[in-house]
Amino acid sequence: MKVIQVPFCFYPDPVGGTEVYVAALSGYLQQQQVSVIVAAPAAVSQSYFYHNIPVYRFAVSNKVENIREIYGEGDLQAALEFNRILEAEQPDLVHLHAFTSGVSLRLVQAAKARQIPVVFTYHTPTVTCQRGTLMHWGTQICDGKLNLHTCAQCTLQGLGLPKTAAIAIGSLPPQIGYWLSNFNLQGKAWTALRMTELMKLRHAAIDNLLSEVDRIVAVCNWVKDVLLVNHVPSEKITVIRQGLCHDLPEKIISRQQSGIQPTLKIAFLGRLDPTKGIHILIAAMLGVPDLPIKLDIYGISHAGNATYQQELQMAANDPRIDFKPAVPAEQVTATLTNYDLLAVPSQWLETGPMVVLEAFAAKVPVIGSNLGGIAELVQSEVNGILVEPASVAAWSQALQRLCQNKDLLTRLSAGIQPPQTMETVASQMLSIYDAALLSSSDRLKL
C-alpha cells in the first residue's frame, strides 16, 4: 500500500503538533510495510528526504488574484502541482491533515478524479471555524453548527470589529458581496462587507470536503460532535486519539519521586499566542506574589504575534517567571520530568494538545483549562486539575491550593495512566485505510 500524507507544512520548516503527528505516523506506518510519502505546500516546489520519508513540497501561488479562492475551492496552482505528484507516484490512498487554500477541496477532487480514496483527519478547529477557535464571540464554547450569519458575525468580531458592527455587517445578504466582487475592491473594509458571501463559499467548501472524503478521523470526542451536528454520517467518522510521538527516556524520575520540593515548578510549552492563554497564567501568578512558585515558559515565537509577545514580557515582571527557548519535540518529555506541573491555559478548543500526553508520559500532572480536548484528557482531581479558562482568580486559587498541598501533587501523579503511542495510532489508521480501499473497490465494481 502506498499512501500520501498531506499536512499544512513540513520539516525543516517550523512545524506544529499536526506535523509532528504526521512525521511520527509516517514512520510507524513504514514499519508496518506501508510506503509513505509526505506532500505539503511550500513557496517553491522541491523534493527531499526527512528521516527516510520521501517529501514533496508543491508550490502555492505567491499572489492571491481572487479572495474567493481562499474561502472556496482553494489554490489552483497548488492543485495542479499536487496532481503531478499523484501522476508520478500513483498512490493507493491520500490522507489529508489540513484544510486550507493550499490543502484544499481541489486536492480531494484531483485524487477522486483518479479514483483514489481520501481519508481526512480533523486536527484543529480551523477546519470548520473561520474564527479558528470554536469559541462564540471568543468567550463561549460553540456547538460548531455551520450557520451563515452566525459564523460571519463571529468571524468579523474576531477580526477586530465591535460586536454591534459585526452583527450588522454579518447580517448582510451574500448577494451584496457578489455585487461588490465585480469591482475588484481591495482592503479589509471591502473584505468585511463581503464576509457573508465569502462565508457562504467557505461553508460550501466544507460541506463538499466532508461529503467527498471516504473516511474522517476525529482526534477527540468534541470533533466527532461537531461533525455530527453538521450532518456527517456517523459511520464515516472514527475517533482515534493522538499518541505519544517520541520514544520515552530510558528512565523517568519525576520530582514527586525524588521527594517533597520547597518550590512548585511549573512548565508551559507552546506557541506564544493569545489562544494558548499564557497571559492568563502570568496574571494568575502575579495575583499570588508570595507563593514559592517557579514558572518556566518554553515559548514558540511567531512574527505575527510580536506585539503580544512584547506584552507578555512586560507583564511578566516577576523573578519567578522565566522565558526560555522552545524545546525540540523529541526532548519535551525529558524536559518535563524536571517539573511538578504542566500548565495548559488554552482559551480555545484544543484537540489534544499533544503536550498533555508528553506530560503524562513523564508522570507530571496537568493544570489546564476546562475546555475541549484538555477536558477529555485530564480527569480533574485524578491526574490533574481543570480550571475555568478565562478566570484569573480561579487560576490563582488553583495555584495556591497546589502550592500549599504537596500531597495533592503526589496523588495526581499516581493517578496518571501511560498514554497510547503513535505505534498504536498507526495500527488503528491502517484499519481505516483498509476500510477506505475496500469501499472504493466495491464502488468501482458497481
Domain boundaries, the chain: 2-244+423-445, 264-414
pLDDT at 254: 61
Residue 326 burial by CB count (10 A; 0-12/13-18/19+): exposed, middle or buried? middle
Confidence label for 413 from pLDDT (cuts 50, 70 and 90): very high
Q: How far apart are CA 46 and CA 390, in angstroms?
A: 44
Contact 151, 199 (CB under 8 A): yes
Q: How far apart are CA 136 and CA 104, in angstroms?
A: 25
pTM score: 0.93
Q: Is 2-244+423-445's fold the same as 264-414's?
A: yes
Interacting residues of 388 by C-beta distance below 8 A, sequence separation 6+: 369, 370, 394
Class of domain 2-244+423-445: alpha beta
Question: Does residue 257 surpass a pLDDT of 80?
Answer: no
Question: Does residue 322 surpass a pLDDT of 90?
Answer: yes
What is the rounded average pLDDT of the residues 194-209? 97
Q: Does domain 264-414 have CATH number 3.40.50.2000?
A: yes
Length of the chain: 446
pLDDT at 439: 82
Q: How far apart are CA 265 and CA 270, in angstroms?
A: 17
Q: For the chain, how long is the longest CA-to-CA vector?
A: 73
pLDDT in tens, 246-255: 877 666 666 6
Long-range CB contact pairs, 378-383, < 8 A, 24+: 379/415, 381/412, 382/412, 382/415, 383/412, 383/415, 383/416, 383/417
Least confident window among 60-69, 116-125, 244-253 = 244-253
Least confident window among 359-368, 372-381, 386-395, 402-411 = 402-411
Contact 151, 71 (CB under 8 A): no
pLDDT at 85: 98
Q: How many CB atoms within 10 Å of residue 430?
A: 17
pLDDT at 251: 65
Question: Does residue 137 surpass a pLDDT of 80?
Answer: yes
Q: How many CA atoms lie within 13 A of 298 on its CB side?
A: 18
pLDDT at 414: 95
Report the first-to-last Cα separation within the chain, whole angstroms.
23
pLDDT in tens, 100-114: 999 999 999 999 999
pLDDT in tens, 155-178: 999 999 999 999 999 999 999 999
